[in-house]
Amino acid sequence: MSAFDIRTSIHPNIPDVTLNDASNRRIKVLCVGAGVNGINNTYKIQKQCENIDLVVYEKNSDIGGTWLDNRYPGCACDVPSHTYAFHFAPNPFWPKFLSGALDIWTYLNKVCQVFKLRKYMKFDCEVTQACWDDTSSRWVVDVKRVLPGGAQQEFQDTCDFFIYAPGLLNKPQWPRIEGIDTFKGRLIHTARWPSSYQKKQWKNDKVAITGSGASSIQVVPNIQPYVSQLHAVWFSAGLVPGFPQEHNYSPDDIKSFRKDPQRLVDHQKLMEQGMNDGWSLFFRGHETQNAAKRMLADRMKEMIKDPKLLEVLCWMSSDNTSDPYVRAIQEPNVNVHFAPVVKLTPTGLMGGDGSHEEVDTVICATGFDASFTPRFPVIGRGGLSLAEKLGNNSVVYFGFIILEMPNVVMYGGPGPPVQNGSLMGVFDAMSNYATQMIQKLQLENELIKQTVFADNYRSCGLHYMEMLSEIRWEDYGIEYRDKKNMFAFIGTGYVRQHRKANADLAWYLTPEGIDTLWAKEIGLNDEECKGNSETANGEIKGEPRRC
């Protein structure tokens, strides 16, 4: 018998497959949510993964997540627009430094159109439960869909890999105020702003707005010029984002960005580096923090004349403050109440200071239920509930990998390891990680179970070289020198670039990273855009998938 006669030398339980060939096994990936993370994951999987069945279930009737749900006056991104774009698809068309919800949705819609991502998505489909089945090693997912006409239908789906990305900013959190159901006027939550309440209805309206977070800061300057009286009621001191909301990009700016992708990327990098360089601001007593406080205190004294208002406000800002909001709360038709609302009456609201204000409309700018409790039951190995596990302060690996939950990534999990810096950069890194997990599951799952045998290793040289191309750390029993903290090597949050003068803190943004299909579709000068427009999971074609 020849030494190379594989028909007799290979163990009969080893499948006849080709190493690292995705065609060996077709797997299914199921994603919950078609917001920013759902769209990014869909693009990455289409681009990088082969032989994949992908389905995205979205409870709404279209893509966008929070940018579809939230349409209150002034709703906008609270980070610079040019940092709020996928790395493969920078947007030269942002109209403002902090662009509005409709502008953001339009961008996300364009991305889905260009890369034909809707063909993977099923809308008006709400996932109601996901359970791990040990027998099949798959997730069993219950889905409720809304049919045309409003009727509901329930069905089940299964998948090998489960992506939990329904978003955090879509479940309104109503304030717990006594008598809230007794108020006879108009009661609104900013996340469910009625289309029937616009400028015409604001005129001569007496309005109270509770809350002092981002949505309140955005709503107040937009309705203040129109209402007859505005009562701004704070639960705590205001946190005012420090970006120049009033800056617009001119047609010449947009034309220049389209003509020169390097200028577009350089502008992105300027914003990103400023955000990434702010880590030292989070260290109490650090000179950078102290200098920022002194600078901001001086600026606030120039802007705010009311001593009590100046004393109460807690500023989280750069050298450019939220000028529209600061101006609005000092207008004659605005009263700022520093005591929280303790009760709603049929005609108005009562404050903790005993005052009663009669109003026509109460706006609850009280944000969302951003807890880590899953939006629906997720039951992992051994019947373990994800809600129960997260409620017990369990460790979640890097904020989105959960033990006892096989083949799952969770966006918006507890303790995401980011306090400042690039939002899209983090999302991109998480999606890349998830994609690698999917590829590993697909390429190695069957081999891991069946290729262990005691005979000498038999293989060709190329096979052996490929096996040694990346270290398989999972085959090692790793022990850490620091017995108390296995992540001690991470340090306090700094990377090498932080320690180097004039280092590039946004190295991940380059013209070469722009997808050439995107460059062509939006009219970018694509000579510098070297990103590959090919996909691993078939051609970019197809129509939206609806239930």
Q: What is the pLDDT of residues 174-222, one digit of tens each?
A: 999 999 999 999 999 999 999 999 999 999 899 999 988 888 989 999 9
Task: Compute the distance between CA of residue 80 and CA of residue 424 in angstroms, rounded to an integer.
Answer: 11
- Most confident of the ranges 208-212, 296-300, 475-479: 208-212
Give Cα separations from 49 to 46, 162, 435 (angstroms).
6, 15, 7
pLDDT, tens digit (0-9, with 9 covering 90-100), for 493-537: 666 666 677 778 787 788 888 999 999 988 887 555 655 555 666
SS3 40: helix
Question: Lowest mean pLDDT: which of 59-63, 144-148, 234-238, 391-395?
Answer: 234-238
Residue 437: which residues within 8 A CB-CB, separation 6 or more? 161, 407, 409
Q: What is the DSSP letter of 177?
A: -
pLDDT over threshold 80, residue 446: no
Query: What does CATH list as the number for 186-253+285-364?
Result: 3.50.50.60
The C-alpha torsion from 356 through 358 and 360 to 361, rounded to 10°, is: -10
Say which CATH topology domain 15-170+371-451+493-522 has: FAD/NAD(P)-binding domain (3.50.50)
Mean residue pLDDT of the chain comes to 81
Q: How far is CA 307 from the centre of its chain?
A: 38
* Confidence label for 32 from pLDDT (cuts 50, 70 and 90): very high
Which residue blocks in 406-493 are alpha helix, DSSP H? 423-450, 461-467
Q: What is the pLDDT of residue 261?
A: 92
Quote the tokens at residue 51: 């032989």
Tell the residue number behind the tokens 């290729």, with chain if given: 451
Task: Compute the distance between CA of residue 168 and CA of residue 410 in angstroms, rounded to an integer.
Answer: 11
Do the domains 186-253+285-364 and 15-170+371-451+493-522 match in fold? Answer: yes
pLDDT over threshold 80, residue 392: no
Q: Where are the domains of the chain?
A: 15-170+371-451+493-522, 186-253+285-364
pLDDT over threshold 90, residue 25: no
Nearest CA-CA partner of 27 in 13, 45, 11: 45
User: 3-class secondary structure for 214-261?
Assistant: HHHHHHHHHHCCCCCEEEEECCCCCECCCCCCCCECCHHHHHHHHHCH
Quote the tokens at residue 260: 């020169």
Q: 294 or 50: whose pLDDT is higher?
A: 50
Question: Lowest mean pLDDT: which of 221-235, 262-276, 445-459?
Answer: 445-459
Residue 78: which residues within 8 A CB-CB, separation 6 or more? 98, 214, 241, 243
Task: Compute the distance between CA of residue 395 and CA of residue 407 in angstroms, rounded to an integer.
Answer: 17
pLDDT over threshold 80, residue 479: no
Side-chain-side CA neighbours of 151 within 13 Å: the count stands at 5
The C-alpha torsion from 263 through 268 and 271 to 277, rounded to 10°, is: -110
Whether the Cβ atoms of residue 78 and residue 109 lie closer than 8 Å to each other:
no
- Mean pLDDT throughout 30-53? 96
pLDDT over threshold 90, residue 1: no
Whether the Cβ atoms of residue 221 and residue 325 lie closer than 8 Å to each other:
yes
* Confidence label for 239 from pLDDT (cuts 50, 70 and 90): very low
Residues listed for the chain: 547
Whether the Cβ atoms of residue 445 and residue 31 lie closer than 8 Å to each other:
no
Task: Compute the distance between CA of residue 80 and CA of residue 63 in angstroms, rounded to an integer.
Answer: 22
**Quick one: 284 exposed, middle or buried, by C-beta within 10 A (0-12, 13-18, 19+)?**
exposed
For the chain, what percent of residues have pLDDT higher than 70?
A: 76
Side-chain-side CA neighbours of 176 within 13 Å: the count stands at 1
